Each structure stands twice: as structure tokens, then as C-alpha cells.
Amino acid sequence: MIYITGDTHGEYERFEDKQLRKLREDDYLIICGDFGFVWDNSDKERAVLEKIGEKRYMTLFVEGTHENFSILNSYPVVKRFGGKCRHICGNLYQLLRGEIYSIDGSSFFTFGGGDSSDKELRRKKGTWWKEEEPTLHEMKHAVRNLDKAGRKVDYIITHEPSMTDMALMEGRCRVTPLSTFLDEVAKNVSYKDWYFGSLHKNKTIRQAHCLFTDLQLLE
């Protein structure tokens, strides 16, 4: 079975939740961005990553805006689930931008990354990476894969919502290249449900599901 949750922000306590303890070998946990466990490459951090990778279920995540992309991008890219992933360790993988995966009989389009509203402050502190912002090349790669799939997938996993869904949930929206691109995806791709995490709330409107601490089972 496949479970989905929101940003974990490097908090290992999230993995000790009693609901997650029930997951078995053939289960999957998908995290909608801001995984947060790839940050300083310390011995402690590497030990935590190994603990996550040793869990009996598979942990998959798209990146958000609070990741150390210099370290994250150093992990090897491998072929898995019908697309390209980064293998962190054991049963822990990053799902890459613009890929379409087949997981437990369902198709998933993934597109991580974002645009930090506090990036100027974080830039000064050395905790912001330009790689958080998707490039035109990555967007074109996504469109090519969606076209090959007939512009139809079962689920969409991102960190940021589309511009329209953010406006519906927040009463406001930020116009960025990414939000505009995701809006075009929403208009031109057929899908059952879309999951994202950046708004840090548990809320559903139509096919859009914002997750934070909730753990949702895909039926």
C-alpha cells in the first residue's frame, strides 16, 4: 500500500509515529517535499539516513526548498520504478523532477522544488541553494514525459501547489515560473489526485490535497 505525508523537515520523530510503525515490507511512504534529512552531512545525519533506509517499507520523497542541494545532488542517479531516482541509501530514494513512475500499480508524476519567500535572508546565511528553483530544461523534460504518457497519470506529487490551488486554499497566490508551470500541468493533464506539502496544513479542495502531519492512504 502507498501512504503519503507532508514535509518532515528532518524531524525523525515523524518516523516514530504509531501509524508508520504499522507499515510492512511491501508498503511505500511518499513525502511531499522538505524532507530535510540531507542538510549538513554530519555523522549524526548519516546515521539517521541509514535508519530510515533500513526500515522495512520504502521511503520516497520529492525535494522542497529546505534541502542542501550540494549534498543531495551528489547521490547517484539510478533507474527505479520506471524512471530515474536518486538512491540515498537502502530503501530511501528521491523522486526526481519531471519523471513518471509506476509504483504498486499506479502512475505518479513528480516535480519537486520551489521558490523560497525568505531566500534573501537564507542566502546571507548560506542556507539557500539556487537548485531549489526548477529550470526551463526540467520543465521541458516533464512535458516530454507527460506527452509520452498521453498526458494522463494517476497521481501528481509536488512540493508546491499550482497557482489556482494555492489561491483556493490561501485566498492568495505567488506568481512564479514554477506556480505558472504547475497551473499548466493542472489544466492539461488528467489525474485522480494531486498531493503537495509546502503550505504546512492538512486540507483538501477538490482533487488537491495539502498534507503536513496527516498520513493518507491511497485507495
Q: What is the dihedral of CA 18, 198, 1, 86, to 10 degrees?
A: -110
What's the pLDDT score for residue 119? 81
What's the pLDDT score for residue 93? 98
* pTM for this model (two decimals): 0.96
* Those residues with Cβ within 8 angstroms of residue 216's Cβ, 6 or more apart along the chain or in another chain: 3, 4, 5, 195, 209
**How does DSSP classify residue 33?**
S
What's the pLDDT score for residue 174? 83
Q: Which domains does the chain have, with CATH numbers?
A: 2-217 (3.60.21.10)
What's the pLDDT score for residue 120? 80
Report yes or no: 169 and 161 within 8 Å, Cβ to Cβ. yes
Q: Is 32 helix (H, G, I), strand (E, B) or coil?
A: strand
Report yes or no: 151 and 109 within 8 Å, Cβ to Cβ. no
What's the pLDDT score for residue 64? 95
Q: What is the DSSP string of 157-175?
A: EESSPPHHHHHHHHS----
Give the residue ranges of the chain where pLDDT is below 70: none
